[in-house]
Amino acid sequence: MNQLAEVKGAFELGDFIDIPDTKLSEAEYRTWICEAEKTICSNFDTVDRHTGISSGYTLEHAITPGIYTRALTMPKDTLNFSKIHIETHPFALLKGKISVFDGEKVVLLEAPYKGVTMAGTKRVAYVHEEVVWITFHPVSTDELEKLDENGVITCDTFEEFDQLRLSGGVL
Which residue, 75, 17, 81, 88, is CA-closest to 49? 81
Q: Is the pTM of this model over 0.85?
A: no
Paired residues of 83 in beta bridges:
none
CATH superfamily of 2-165: Jelly Rolls (2.60.120.10)
∠ at Cα 134 (133, 137), nearest 5°?
Answer: 135
Q: Which residues contact 41 (CB under 8 A, 6 or more apart)?
A: 4
Total Cβ atoms within 10 A of residue 42: 8
User: What pLDDT, on the 0 to 100 scale, is given for residue 57?
Assistant: 80
For residue 96, what pLDDT is reported?
97
User: Are residues 5 and 78 in contact, defined by beta-carbon separation less than 8 angstroms?
Assistant: yes
- CA distances (Å), 16 to each of 20, 37, 106, in order? 13, 11, 13
pLDDT in the model for residue 161: 92
Report the pLDDT value the prediction gives residue 49, as an integer from 0 to 100.
Answer: 46
Q: Give the pLDDT of the chain (171 residues) as one tens digit per residue.
A: 444 444 444 567 667 677 887 888 899 989 988 888 888 776 655 454 443 445 678 889 888 888 999 999 999 888 888 889 989 999 999 999 999 987 778 899 999 999 999 999 998 888 999 999 999 998 887 777 777 655 678 888 999 999 988 887 655
Three-class DSSP category at 23: coil
CA distance 94 to 110: 9
Write phi, then psi, for 51 (nearest 5 degrees). -95, -5
CA distance 52 to 46: 13
How far apart, in whole angstroms, are the C-alpha atoms of residue 157 and residue 34?
Answer: 9
Q: What is the pLDDT of residue 10?
A: 55
Where are the domains positioned within the chain? 2-165
Position 20 scores a pLDDT of: 82
Q: Cα(12)–Cα(22) distance, rounded to whole angstroms?
A: 18
Secondary structure E strands in the chain = 2-6, 58-64, 67-74, 78-81, 84-85, 89-101, 106-110, 113-117, 124-138, 154-155
